[in-house]
Structure 1
Amino acid sequence: MKTLVKWYRWILLAVIFQFCVLLYINNVFLNSDITVSITEANKSKSVFTGDFKVPDNAKSISMSYNAEYGAYILDGVLHIVNVDKEDDREVAGKDNDKITYFKWLPDRNMVIFSSDTKNGQKGIVEISTYEPDSETLRQYPQIDGLTAKSQIMDIELSQYTNVVYAKIKTSDTKSKIVSFNVMSQYAHVMNLGADAIIKECSFVNKLVYQNEEKSVYIYDGNKKVKNKIPIDADKIKVLGIDLNDSLYIGILDSLGKVTQIYHQKINDDKVTDNWTKVDLKAATAVEDIIISGNGNIYTNDIEENKIINVISGLKASYRGEFIEILEGALVSKEENKVFITSLKEY
């Protein structure tokens, strides 16, 4: 009898234990109503300041998001420079595959770049990424069957959707837009003019595009549809998208200069005609307008070597030739030196 009681006790304990485990799985592990806090692995660091040397004929000089690394192209070779260690490395283009385009991701030390040849053969382009922290090189599938003049002119990568859009110029008047999904599979998206502008959102799979001074459209990569952006102006130009997915469009005068800037956040809904409008004090060339990642609008005064915050009117000075604005730093080049200085507005 005592033995049976012991057995019943063990069976009862086992049933209670299983019930508790199932209750936990149902109410905690599988509960979709729980709010999960996601911490990004790539925390923003303080922006590096300093300088480094580049050769006389270095092209396309650009910095990583925190200025820890610089990059440039020299004779088709992509160089990555560790600013603090003064270490200059050749990372791609050393053989027959000359590098023609690159850009840094806006929130991490990763550069995405392309070559317009494969083993010296024309009509083939390939996109790759390189992380200098770990020296990791990854390659997307090559795109072949293109014209001999084909060259990638722009690459847009969303760090949240992991979708890549690339603009491949195939002739003096035409370009192809292709996309790569998270599985690195690519697809043809559309054909545009050679001078078309493309800009990708960060948080939604949407691509903004515009043929030269024509209407602006948004392509929804999930639904595979496009919608024209409503804007009451005759001549417009896409200026950029900030890291919060706000789109900036310049309103142009008869000379092609920007007199107003319209901006609006892009989300899953359609863009409306409810724009925030900013008037410029003077008509400004498109190339002299800078949209920073955090949504600040600046104009570049080349004669005074100053950038001017359009909203606050505050200024910041730089040395030599302006290159770019990082979050908290100005990058410029004077002779053979690239300078990274704190962005101090006064």
Structure 2
Amino acid sequence: MKKLRTFLIWTVIALIIENGVFLYFEKVYLVQGSSIKAEKVEKRKASDMKDVSIPSEAKDVKMSHDGSYISYLEDGALKIGDRTKGTVKTVKVADYMSINYTKWVTDGNFLIIAEKTKDAKKPYIGFYKYDAVRDDKTELTDLDLHKDIINLSSSKDNIQDMAFATSSNVMYFKLGKTSDRCDIYKINVMSQMEKVKTNLQGIDTIEVDPVNANLIYEQSGMVKINTGSKQTRIKNLSEGNVLGHSDSSVFIAKGKSDSISEIVYGDVEKPTSSWQRISLDNKTSTKNIFLTSGGRVFVNNSNKTLTDLTSKKNIKYEGTLLDVNDRGILCEVDGQSKVVELE
């Protein structure tokens, strides 16, 4: 009885510590440097917001989850278009750093930014969270306030992809190196940066399993899962392209990247034979497929329409298609942003 009581006490203590870590990450780490103010927020339609300028030379144009903000690079500077006001501002970057890669989180107006030092002798990449609402940038650190950085072996190394799910509080970063090789780093639930894969070859898209927070990556046409101690291929899937994830499923386009006719999605712990399937009427490239965080799949057609693969409805747009999410379709028309509202 005494041993059982001792075991139960230590079990409770362990649960308290574990929950405390997750609570810290969610309530402190992700909002550090920001003041909290309770207020009633009226949800605005993306199409009712104001247009912002998008220069013809803009690169890497992306839209925040609710369509309120647009990010892009102009001559190396990171610009944020605020569609609630119709204004554009420049994110401040230290003189000795440059923007390397950016990605919006899927359920908030936060941009994760990778910045690389300009010093070729001691190159490294640091990571920041930019709060678009407050125009506030905070450097990512672990629980001891040590900076989450990646020291580079070459100044030519760059972040090529990011993957994260806010439900798991885990982030993965693909660091591209020479000779088509890469390393993959992870910020774990303790907010610590660690290398999980070294010198991999033929790596394309990386993703995160939203259920178990394991790394998923595409390597030479094969989709693999890394659980830390081992890596395995997804069962019953000979060739595939990772599209992304929703709250509980991973989406994979089957076949070669330029000839996709079917998309499957489900729990990576289960064989793909039990997954849900979406058939395409015509074969297309993965470049024409857009997956939203809510699990909606769209195909871009040559006649300036997007097809919703669930409802089979076609949605018209103007200009150049830039991005798609659950709130709308972002286009550039005559140097201005245009967002087509999604139902």
TM-score, normalization by structure 2 = 0.79
Distance in 2, Cα, partners of 1:319 & 1:114: 32
Distance in 2, Cα, partners of 1:118 & 1:225: 36
- Change beyond 3 A, Cα 1:314–1:180: same
Q: What are the equivalent positions in structure 2 for 1:297-312 lying under 5 Å apart?
A: 297-301=297-301, 303-312=302-311
Q: Cα offset for 1:231?
A: 2.0
**Alignment-derived partner of residue 322 in structure 1:** 321
Q: Cα offset for 1:100?
A: 2.3
Distance in 1, Cα, partners of 2:45 & 2:106: 13
- Describe the SS at the equivalent of 1:138: strand
Distance in 2, Cα, partners of 1:203 & 1:294: 15
- Describe the SS at the equivalent of 2:206: strand
**Alignment-derived partner of residue 193 in structure 2:** 186
- Describe the SS at the equivalent of 1:196: strand
- Change beyond 3 A, Cα 1:251–1:160: closer
Distance in 2, Cα, partners of 1:314 & 1:195: 34
**Alignment-derived partner of residue 206 in structure 1:** 214
Q: Cα offset for 1:317?
A: 0.9
* Uncovered stretches (5+) of structure 2, i.e. residues with no partner: 1-12, 16-22, 28-37, 141-147
* Rg comparison, structure with higher value: 1
**Alignment-derived partner of residue 249 in structure 1:** 252
Which letter maps to 1:99?
A: I
Q: Does 1:220 align with 2:227?
A: yes
- Describe the SS at the equivalent of 2:51: strand
Q: Cα offset for 1:145?
A: 3.8
Distance in 2, Cα, partners of 1:172 & 1:57: 29
Q: Cα offset for 1:181?
A: 2.0
Q: Cα offset for 1:315?
A: 0.7
Distance in 2, Cα, partners of 1:319 & 1:159: 33
Deviation per residue, 1:16-74 (Å, 9 max, x gap): xxxxxxxxxxxxxx9x9xxxxx9x99989344224211222111111111111111111
TM-score, normalization by structure 1 = 0.78
- Change beyond 3 A, Cα 1:338–1:121: farther
**Alignment-derived partner of residue 89 in structure 1:** 89
Question: With CA pairs under 8 Å and 6+ residues apart, which has the higher RCO, 1 or 2?
Answer: 2
Distance in 1, Cα, partners of 2:223 & 2:313: 31
Q: Cα offset for 1:259?
A: 1.4
- Describe the SS at the equivalent of 1:287: helix
User: What do you get for the CA RMSD once the two structures are aligned?
Assistant: 2.7
Q: Does 1:237 align with 2:241?
A: yes
Distance in 1, Cα, partners of 2:214 & 2:310: 28
Distance in 1, Cα, partners of 2:44 & 2:113: 25
Q: Cα offset for 1:94?
A: 5.7
Aligned length: 299
For the 8 Å contact 1:99–1:115, the answer to whether it is kept is yes
- Describe the SS at the equivalent of 2:287: helix
Distance in 1, Cα, partners of 2:118 & 2:165: 26
Distance in 2, Cα, partners of 1:125 & 1:44: 38
Q: Cα offset for 1:189?
A: 0.4
**Alignment-derived partner of residue 48 in structure 1:** 46
Q: Cα offset for 1:120?
A: 6.4
